[in-house]
Chain A
Amino acid sequence: MKLLPQLVAFLALTTTSGLAAATLTQQIDPAEAHVGDQVIVTISVQNGSIDNLQMPQVDGLQIAGTRSATNITFSNGSLSRATAFTFALVPARPGDFTIPAFDIHTHEGDVLHVKAMTLHVLGDVPASTNSAPAPSAPSPAASSAPSTNLPFNPNGPVVMPPTNAAPATATPANGNSAAITTSTAVAAPRDTDGTPAKVFIIITPETTDAYVGQSIPLRIDFYIRMDVNADQNSLPTIKGSDFLMNSFTTRGHARVGLLENEEYGCETWITAISAPKSGDFPLSMVRDTYWIKSITANNNFDPFGGFFSRHANLAHEPITSNQLTMHVHALPTEGQPANFTGAIGQLKVTGEAHPASVAVGEPVALDFTVSGEGNFDYVRCPTLPDSPAWKTYVPSSRTNYRDESHTHAIKTFEQAVIPQKNGIVPLPPASFSYFDPTSKQYVTVPIPLPEITVTGSPPPLASASTGGGTDSTAASATPQPTAELLPNRLELGSLQMSLQPVYRQPWYWAVQGGLIALPLLGALFLLLRSRSAPDHDRAERASRQRSVEQEREAMTEAVHRGDVSAFFLAARHAIQLQLGSQWNLKPEALTLGEIRRRDACLAGTLEPLFTQADEVIYSGRTGPDLDLAQWERHARELLQLQTVGS
């Protein structure tokens, strides 16, 4: 268990550099600061190994702290490694400073060029200015200010939470303290024994100063030291009921990194919270966490026990994050627009209508788009004032979220309006209102819409329903255009108990199967017959051949005996047998006439024999010139000829 992550890390360290060329990114934040402010310079090297990095000395810029962190990520089947060096600089005097360009040499032999960075430093910090705390070194003084807006970068490096409250109080009974130190350049909180905590959670909201209903992006980082890492089966939840949190839309982003030379697994979620009521509320999160307490071998006598039979003993406890105090303000009632629906943020609204020309009664589609950052669940379709010239319908909407926290989105509305009169009819003036938390005031955006050319004549007024029904929906509640509905049918029609399609009925498939089986049965019959047919034919051929042979012997015997009648009888029958076999006919049916009908040429050849045979058999005349031996040769030649021909 313990070896596996180390093995992965080792493989990552030893293989990633060879997978891709080393690249470098650099950043100075902010580019303009006051004297005494911290300026963070971050230099990140991807896919390159560097032990140490020295920042060039610049007169007037003091290096207050340095730290490095290595992230190894396994994504899309490939490993990548990134080492980030962070330098906290403090300008000692106002002026323009330039950090000169310099080169970085990686162990792999790559040379990376760091470009020069400029910094504009103003005079002393004015008392009212909120200095943005550095990601790795939040200032307690600054964060305790009531309107602290922390820099928020969901994809940025691990940042410490704002410490506007006392250090996190979660101190689990097992001593896995999450007491977060506020010292600079330290990311991991400490256990009671002073070592980095095994497990801790850091939450980082975008701001701690918000309004009721405002969506506040929140980053949740769950850290667990790799030597105690175990599978988790729960997600972080908010403690208490003072805040609502969006569901996690994706799985936590997992990575492995080094914090203070300890290897940690980190899982990060980006979500958003909102407060349903105003006041100051504590914000913290908790996660039921499993971690490896100890590892024991099941069988000490097993030679492989140390490798295969190791058993991890898990500890289970809720881990609480750092605690913040959120200042939630009520929305001002003064100046609240009538069409304000609770949308809070920085939003842009556009609208368009199409087509530009329609006939009376035909719909015009209005497309509104609201985009930007805010609580999009509260963003409703821009309102159209009532107008006798237009009939409006319920809009449909669609939201495309642009980030994981669901605070950046594009929400589109489609609304149909139908002109009730002709001419050049201006669309009702649409408007959209929201509350801007930055300027702390309501904003109403007028949405310009074009004039529509409406042709045709207005529809006639529908006649009121007849009768005095007591139905509440009758008369006034009935939409007027339903008067155009075609009247009811009075017949019952062809009834069926179910609308289920026929293919859901078993009998349907039985009928289909029966029909398909028909040709299959035919094919099966053909197959079986073709298998049995050869034997049948062979037997029949053999039988006929035997008969022909018998007739030949009878011919020879008759010649020996001088029996003319027997000879011609045998000769003619032998020829009939042979021809019958060829033509699939009974031998007796093959008279000379039948043979002539089928093959005139053959009939000519056989005619002397058949004629002589008839004469001898039926008249009994046996002339002295009859040479039986010659007739026998002739008959055998004819049989031979037929055999060759067949």
Chain B
Amino acid sequence: MFSLILFPFILHADSEIDAANRAYTYGSYDESARLFQQIIATRGYSAPLCFDLANAEARAGHTGAAILNYERARYLAPADRDIDHNLQLARKQAGLEPNSYRWWQIALRSIDWTVWLGIMAACLLLIFLAVIGTAYAPALAAASGMPLPLLKTIFKAILFAGIPLCLLMGYVELSTIGFNDRIEGVVVAPKEATLRLSPFDSADSIGTIPEGELATVEDRHNDYLRIEARDHHFGWVRRTDLEPVIAGSFDVQPR
């Protein structure tokens, strides 16, 4: 019944994807990119959709937009080798250095955060039971026939091992969901973005960053973002020259 209700929507989505892929196949890359953007706007993000959009942008010659969407696809599917392959190819074509994830980053990001949450929840439950059990240790010992000192040792072991394990799992979980990550953006300005000394149009230029380069956002001021590019290269760029990898993250105050 549920499938029957959803069927028209699924059919509609599939037809939209078909149209976007057809445009891509026939070489209408701008049109293909527009259709993929439309699907994402209405149905949401997914790794395959971002990947397809990035392919269309790359074929259309929009290096910055292509790298941006490859980065988004990689964010959603960190272990996907195809995404990384196309991303590195796009970066190479833009004259940028490769930025593949290292094995441990892939391992960390590939495991869903709920796994770590589950382990942490189990640890916390054990700690809870150990704490309660400590209160009723004599009764439990009498009921189970287990010597009281042994029972108390078991409870203590659970507490001493469970608390650090819990903290570790919490840290890993936060790392997996990107709590420690800094806000990143990709230069989408055609060819290059001008880096300025201060956040004003009249400020002196202190350099340029090529299109497609990944930069970390440090601060913002009106229509300008203070960024750190490679080699601790700091400066202000116009907000419109940079698109966030995680859509909407520029609206959040950087930590």
- A residues sitting closer than 8 Å to B (CB atoms) are 246-247, 249, 361, 363, 377, 393-401, 406, 411, 415-418, 465-475, 477-479, 481-482, 484-504, 511-512, 515-516, 518-519, 521-523, 525-526, 529-530, 584
A500 and B55 CA atoms in complex are apart in Å by: 23
5 closest Cβ contacts across the A-B interface?
A393-B95, A493-B46, A416-B95, A522-B131, A467-B26
A523 and B174 CA atoms in complex are apart in Å by: 25
B210 within 8 Å of A by Cβ?
Answer: yes
Contacts A/B (CB < 8 Å), 19 sampled: A247-B198, A393-B95, A395-B208, A397-B208, A399-B204, A399-B207, A418-B95, A469-B28, A471-B27, A471-B30, A474-B27, A474-B28, A485-B59, A489-B47, A489-B82, A493-B47, A496-B44, A499-B75, A584-B142
Instruction: Tell whether, in the assembled complex, residue A399 and residue B205 are in contact, meaning their CB atoms are under 8 Å apart.
Output: yes
A502 and B233 CA atoms in complex are apart in Å by: 30
A488 and B82 CA atoms in complex are apart in Å by: 10
Instruction: Tell whether, in the assembled complex, residue B128 and residue A521 are in contact, meaning their CB atoms are under 8 Å apart.
Output: yes
A247 and B201 CA atoms in complex are apart in Å by: 11
Instruction: Tell whether, in the assembled complex, residue A478 and residue B211 are in contact, meaning their CB atoms are under 8 Å apart.
Output: no
A516 and B163 CA atoms in complex are apart in Å by: 11
A469 and B25 CA atoms in complex are apart in Å by: 9
Chain B interface extent, by class: 35 or more
Residues of A within 8 A of B181 (CB): 501
A40: min CB distance to chain B, Å: 34
- B residues sitting closer than 8 Å to A (CB atoms) are 13-14, 17, 21, 23-31, 43-49, 51-52, 55, 58-61, 72, 75-76, 82, 85-86, 89-90, 92-96, 113, 117, 120-121, 124-125, 127-132, 134-135, 138, 142, 170, 174, 177-179, 181, 191-192, 195, 197-198, 200, 202-211, 213, 229, 233, 245-249, 252
Instruction: Tell whether, in the assembled complex, residue B121 and residue A515 are in contact, meaning their CB atoms are under 8 Å apart.
Output: yes
A519 and B163 CA atoms in complex are apart in Å by: 10
Instruction: Tell whether, in the assembled complex, residue B44 and residue A468 are in contact, meaning their CB atoms are under 8 Å apart.
Output: no
B134: min CB distance to chain A, Å: 6
Residues of A within 8 A of B85 (CB): 486
Residues of B within 8 A of A529 (CB): 135
Residue in A249, A396, A400, A494 whose Cβ sees the most chain B Cβ within 10 Å = A396
Residues of B within 8 A of A417 (CB): 95
A375: min CB distance to chain B, Å: 11
A254: min CB distance to chain B, Å: 21
Instruction: Tell whether, in the assembled complex, residue A501 and residue B117 are in contact, meaning their CB atoms are under 8 Å apart.
Output: no
Residues of A within 8 A of B92 (CB): 361, 363, 418, 481
Residues of B within 8 A of A396 (CB): 192, 207-210, 213, 229
Instruction: Tell whether, in the assembled complex, residue A393 and residue B210 are in contact, meaning their CB atoms are under 8 Å apart.
Output: yes
Picked from B24, B125, B209, B252, the residue with its CB within 8 Å of the CB of A504 is B252
Known: A481-B89, A493-B48, A503-B179. 8 other contacts (CB 8 A): A401-B204, A417-B95, A466-B25, A471-B28, A495-B45, A499-B248, A519-B131, A525-B132
Q: A473-B59, A482-B59 are in contact. Are A522 and B127 (CB under 8 A)?
A: yes
Q: Which residue of A lies closest to B198 (CB)?
A: A247
Residue in B45, B132, B170, B208 whose Cβ sees the most chain A Cβ within 10 Å = B208
Instruction: Tell whether, in the assembled complex, residue A473 and residue B134 are in contact, meaning their CB atoms are under 8 Å apart.
Output: no
Residues of B within 8 A of A246 (CB): 204
Residues of B within 8 A of A523 (CB): 131
Residues of B within 8 A of A511 (CB): 117
Instruction: Tell whether, in the assembled complex, residue B93 and residue A481 are in contact, meaning their CB atoms are under 8 Å apart.
Output: yes
Residues of A within 8 A of B51 (CB): 488-489
Residue in A486, A487, A493, A516 whose Cβ sees the most chain B Cβ within 10 Å = A493
